[in-house]
Amino acid sequence: MTVDVQYYVLLSMAVFCIGLFGVLTRRNALLFLMSVELMLNAANINLIAFAFYHGNLTGQLFALFIMALAAAEVAVGLGIILVLYRNFRDVDVTVPTTMRW
Amino acid sequence: MAATATGPFGFAPAIAVLPLVAFVVTLLFGKHLPKKGAFPGIIATAGSLLISLVMFAAVGGGNAHHTTLYEWTAGAATSATNTEGVAFTFGILIDPLSALMLVIVSLVALLVHVFSLGYMNAEGETGLPRYYAELGLFTFSMLAFVFADNLLMAFMFFELVGLCSYLLIGFWFRTESAPSAAKKAFLVTRFGDYFFLVGVVAIAATFGTVGFAGEGSFVTAAETAIDDGATLFGFDAQTWVTITGLLVLGGVLGKSAQFPFHTWLPDAMEGPTTVSALIHAATMVAAGVYLVARMFGYYALSPTALTIIAFVGGFTALFAATMAVVKDDVKQVLAYSTISQYGYMMLGLGVGGYVAGVFHLMNHAFFKALLFLGAGAVIILMHHEQDMWKMGGLKNKAPVVYYTFLAGALALAGIVPFSGFWSKDEVLFDALAVGLDEPVILAAYAMGLLAVFFTGFYTFRMVFLTFHGEPRSETAEEPHPVGWPVKIPLLALGTLAAVAGFVNLAPVASLFDLEISFLEFWLDGEYGSVEGLTYHAYHDTVAEMAFEESYIGSETTTMLLSAGLSLGLALAGAFTAHTLYNVPEPSRHTQKLGGAYNVLRSNYYQDEYQVWLAEGLTLPLARAADRFDQTVIDGIVNGTSTVSLFSSSWVKRIQTGIVTNYAALLVAGFIGLLLILGALGGWFA
């Protein structure tokens, strides 16, 4: 049996909102990374669902692209977090505001 | 068009190149050469003189030479009257005028080089290689200027002549006055040259050519434009010719030291006397008048320009002559006489007397070089004393110097039959003939005539004070002897000053109906010539465009009347000087002039008013401009940056540095955008 496309959209919206909530409320940089991961995967769900719905592979192709991008983003993000920790002994994103201007 | 570069004319560039080679050689190796580098210059100028004489003979043989040596660049056709692009070239034009001038310049330069052996070397001067190198460069620039075939090339060498005179006037640069005089000469002439440059650009832009001769010359183009009744740059063609002609005239007035740009010349006496001789007789100052003669066809098209030339000339002749009357320094008297004599040339050219002007230019070159070299000899005799009141009685102690100087003085005063009489008389006759119909020219003629009296007076005052009477100082009793390098140039020039006038005995020719006005035939192209550059062509243009000539009685009567009048005045001046100063113990009569003495002594306050122009007018103006720049312009610039700095100090607060805030702003912005687009798209309708 097949699931209607609107359920996928609802699922993706829920996951995206959880990610957004994490970004807006958390102060821990690691949780930031995870929340961003959630939002990216919400987008992936959408892409796959609509690819299935329309019966072509373009959406799946882009989902693969996003996964590669997410991997790269995590690598850079973790690097930044490591440096942050080394300099400030903390991974709280409100601490390094001294670098703003 | 003239003959091609065959035969003797192939050597023409060498006339200028030889002194240039001498310049380079002397500059590089002068220290190691005998006589500190005098000989390369002497050999080079002798070579130039030789080739110039060959050119002269070739022109006399019925040829002329006009060729382009090198083309700088050729532009697209943009001018108003010429459909071809303007081409900037180096070229050589050898016609009667330039051939004559080449001989004069190279001859005077040679004699000055020889004289320098006695004047400069004998004194053990330092920096002699520099002196001879600069003389070489000076001669090179002037010779190249003389045979230039277009206005741009003429302008370039005109500037180079100015540079060289700057260098030579400032030769004794360790003194205080010489560098200042050099700077003054440079700046004043440069002020005039600024107008000259604008004039060159205007002529090139209007007519698309800067050539002096032939079909493609700006003179021909201007003539065609006037005949066609063309409108150039919003002006009537003739008005535009007047404007451009007057712009070029600015350079002429500066170089030829005409009022109001004459102030540099008396100060230029700070240079060595030999340099003064070269500057006054054949190079720097002559360049201005020569330029007017060179492009005379252009001025002939504009009666206004001619009248201005004539009036400025007549005025300067009188103006400078009165100042010469009260000077005590022998070189200062000569300096003012130079200004005055060039005034006569301008007067002659301005009334259409092309032959008269060139004739006086030639004669003046000889007698003024003679007088300056004579003054140089006197200065040697007097151990570098220049005050005439400390001289006296040199007549018997240095007869060669005395008699040659006397020949020059007679020529300068215009006493028959010395050269100056014939040419000055012709200038005045031409001015009178035109002046009978034109009141302005008549005024110029009257001033020129009056100046004759003063010329006679100051010339003989100088002669009597220097050579006659009793010696008035110890050095005058025991003068330093002069050698042959001094005497030979004096004798050569003395002969020329006495006899050069015989090449154009116009009054005699008119009186006895003889064909002996050789200079007139020469300039009229009876021998060789370039078409359009003849006295006849100019004379026709002047008659057509500008002036009518009329006579009192007949032409001969007028000529004799004019000659008699000027000779009488010159003799009267000389006689006055004789009465006042040819006594054993002359006294200063200048005090009797009262208030006029102070005015004359201060040169009519010309320097003062020019300084005032600079300090009282230009300086406050510059200050005001500076203040405007500092406050208004800089205020706007600084204000702009202050406003952006201030506003950014507020706007930057949006950058909190907390990532969460950025994300919130992003989301809020996105939602806001969504709502706006939705509202516009009609979701909530």
CA distances in angstroms from A44 to A7, A41, A77, listed in the order given:
14, 5, 20
Contact B228, B197 (CB under 8 A): no
The neighbouring-strand residues paired with B68 are B91
Alpha helices, DSSP H, located in B64-126:
96-119
pLDDT classification of B76: cutoffs 50, 70, 90: low
Task: Between B586 and A15, name the one with better pLDDT.
Answer: A15
Q: No. of H helices and E strands in chain B?
A: 29, 4
Among chain A residues, CA nearest to B659:
A93
Evaluate the CA torsion angle B418, B509, B431, B103 in order and state its sign.
negative
Q: No. of H helices and E strands in chain A?
A: 3, 0
Distance of CA A12 to the CA centre of its chain: 12
pTM of the predicted model as reported, rounded to 2 decimal places: 0.79
- Tokens describing residue B548: 């009518």
Instruction: State whether B655 and A101 contact (CB < 8 Å).
Output: yes
For B146, the 3-state DSSP assignment is: helix
A73-83 pLDDT, tens digit per residue, is 999 999 999 99
| Eight-class DSSP state of B149 | -
* Nearest CA-CA distance, residue B648 and chain A, Å: 12
The beta-carbon neighbor of B657 closest among A25, A32, A100 is A100
Look at B20-29, B96-105, B209-218 and tell me which has the smallest mean pLDDT. Answer: B209-218
- Tokens describing residue B210: 């800067």
**Model confidence at B668: pLDDT above 90:** yes
Instruction: State whether B652 and A93 contact (CB < 8 Å).
Output: no
B434-487 pLDDT, tens digit per residue, is 888 888 888 999 999 999 999 999 999 888 888 888 888 877 777 787 778 888
Look at A39-43, B9-13, B60-64, B122-126 and tell me which has the smallest mean pLDDT. Answer: B122-126
- Max CA-CA distance within chain B? 126
Cβ of B656 under 8 Å from any chain A Cβ? yes
* pLDDT attached to residue A96: 81
Write the single-letter amino acid at B670: F
B124-146 pLDDT, tens digit per residue, is 677 888 888 999 999 999 999 99
B360-397 pLDDT, tens digit per residue, is 999 999 999 999 999 888 888 887 778 888 887 788 88
Which positions in chain A touch B660 (Cβ < 8 Å)?
23-27, 93-94
Contact A9, A46 (CB under 8 A): yes
Cβ of B663 under 8 Å from any chain A Cβ? yes
| Angstrom distance (rounded) from CA B339 to CA B321 | 8
* Nearest CA-CA distance, residue A2 and chain B, Å: 31
Instruction: State whether A96 and B657 contact (CB < 8 Å).
Output: yes
| Eight-class DSSP state of B471 | -
Contact B58, B7 (CB under 8 A): yes
Q: Which of B257, B258, B501 is nearest to B366 (CA)?
A: B501
Question: What proportion of chain B, given as a percentage, has pLDDT over 90?
Answer: 23
**Model confidence at B79: pLDDT above 60:** no
Among chain B residues, CA nearest to A21:
B664
Q: Once rounded to an integer, what is the mean pLDDT over residues B184-199?
A: 91
**Model confidence at B423: pLDDT above 60:** yes
Among chain A residues, CA nearest to B649:
A101
The beta-carbon neighbor of B655 closest among A32, A96, A100 is A100
Contact residues, B window 49-108, toward A, CB-based 8 Å cutoff: none
Q: Which of B60, B48, B59 is nearest to B11 (CA)?
A: B48
Average pLDDT, chain B: 85
**Model confidence at B82: pLDDT above 70:** no
The beta-carbon neighbor of A93 closest among B660, B664, B667 is B660
Look at B300-304, B386-390, B535-539 and tell me which has the smallest mean pLDDT. Answer: B535-539
| Angstrom distance (rounded) from CA B561 to CA B571 | 15
Among chain A residues, CA nearest to B661:
A24
| Angstrom distance (rounded) from CA B549 to CA B582 | 42
Task: Between B39 and A16, name the one with better pLDDT.
Answer: A16
Write the single-letter amino acid at B590: T
A and B: number of Cβ contacts within 8 A:
29
Instruction: State whether A99 and B657 contact (CB < 8 Å).
Output: yes
| Angstrom distance (rounded) from CA B151 to CA B121 | 38
Which positions in chain B touch A27 (Cβ < 8 Å)?
660
- Tokens describing residue B60: 């006399």
Contact B558, B552 (CB under 8 A): yes
* Nearest CA-CA distance, residue B657 and chain A, Å: 4
CA distances in angstroms from B132 to B109, B233, B248, B315, listed in the order given:
11, 47, 31, 37
* pLDDT attached to residue B379: 86
* pLDDT attached to residue B347: 92
* Nearest CA-CA distance, residue B640 and chain A, Å: 22
Among chain B residues, CA nearest to A29:
B659
Which positions in chain B touch A93 (Cβ < 8 Å)?
658-660
Interface of A with B (CB under 8 A): 20, 23-27, 32, 93-94, 96-101
Q: Which residue has the tokens 């300084």?
A: B611
Task: Between B290 and B541, name the one with better pLDDT.
Answer: B290
* pLDDT attached to residue B1: 37
Alpha helices, DSSP H, located in A1-57:
5-25, 29-54
Cβ of B659 under 8 Å from any chain A Cβ? yes
Helical axes B354-381 vs B330-350, angle rounded to 10°: 170
Instruction: State whether A24 and B656 contact (CB < 8 Å).
Output: no
pLDDT classification of A72: cutoffs 50, 70, 90: very high
Task: Between B426 and B85, name the one with better pLDDT.
Answer: B426
**Model confidence at B6: pLDDT above 70:** no
Instruction: State whether B657 and A23 contact (CB < 8 Å).
Output: no
* pLDDT attached to residue A101: 66
Instruction: Select from A26, A35, A93 the residue whose CB has the most chain B CBs within 10 Å, as the one to mutate to test that interface.
Output: A93
pLDDT classification of B103: cutoffs 50, 70, 90: very high
Which positions in chain B touch A26 (Cβ < 8 Å)?
660
Task: Between B507 and B5, name the one with better pLDDT.
Answer: B507
**CATH numbers and ranges of domains, chain A:** 5-88 (1.10.287.3510)
Instruction: State whether B659 and A32 contact (CB < 8 Å).
Output: yes
For B504, the 3-state DSSP assignment is: strand
Q: Once rounded to an integer, what is the mean pLDDT over residues B611-618?
A: 86
Helical (H) or strand (E) element with B397 = none
Which positions in chain B touch A96 (Cβ < 8 Å)?
657
| Angstrom distance (rounded) from CA A74 to CA A29 | 12
Bond before B129 cis per omega within 30 degrees? no
* pLDDT attached to residue A74: 93
Which positions in chain A touch B658 (Cβ < 8 Å)?
93-94, 97
The beta-carbon neighbor of A93 closest among B652, B658, B664 is B658
Contact B566, B452 (CB under 8 A): yes
Contact B149, B94 (CB under 8 A): no
Burial class (CB in 10 A: 0-12, 13-18, 19+), B304: middle
Which positions in chain B touch A94 (Cβ < 8 Å)?
658, 660
Instruction: Select from B649, B651, B652, B659 the residue whose CB has the most chain A CBs within 10 Å, as the one to mutate to test that interface.
Output: B659
* pLDDT attached to residue B653: 84
* Nearest CA-CA distance, residue B678 and chain A, Å: 19
| Angstrom distance (rounded) from CA A53 to CA A66 | 19
Contact residues, B window 316-335, toward A, CB-based 8 Å cutoff: none
Among chain A residues, CA nearest to B662:
A24
| Angstrom distance (rounded) from CA B43 to CA B59 | 24
pLDDT classification of B32: cutoffs 50, 70, 90: confident
Cβ of B653 under 8 Å from any chain A Cβ? no
Which positions in chain A touch B659 (Cβ < 8 Å)?
23, 32, 93
* pLDDT attached to residue B84: 63
Task: Between B316 and B230, name the one with better pLDDT.
Answer: B316
Among chain B residues, CA nearest to A24:
B660
Helical (H) or strand (E) element with B5 = none
Among chain B residues, CA nearest to A94:
B658
pLDDT classification of B81: cutoffs 50, 70, 90: low
* Nearest CA-CA distance, residue A44 and chain B, Å: 20
Phi-psi region of B76 (alpha: psi -120 to 50; beta: other; left: phi over 0): beta
* Nearest CA-CA distance, residue B660 and chain A, Å: 5
Instruction: Select from A23, A32, A95 the residue whose CB has the most chain B CBs within 10 Å, as the one to mutate to test that interface.
Output: A23
| Angstrom distance (rounded) from CA B370 to CA B407 | 9
Cβ of B671 under 8 Å from any chain A Cβ? no
| Angstrom distance (rounded) from CA B158 to CA B253 | 13
Which positions in chain A touch B663 (Cβ < 8 Å)?
20, 23-24
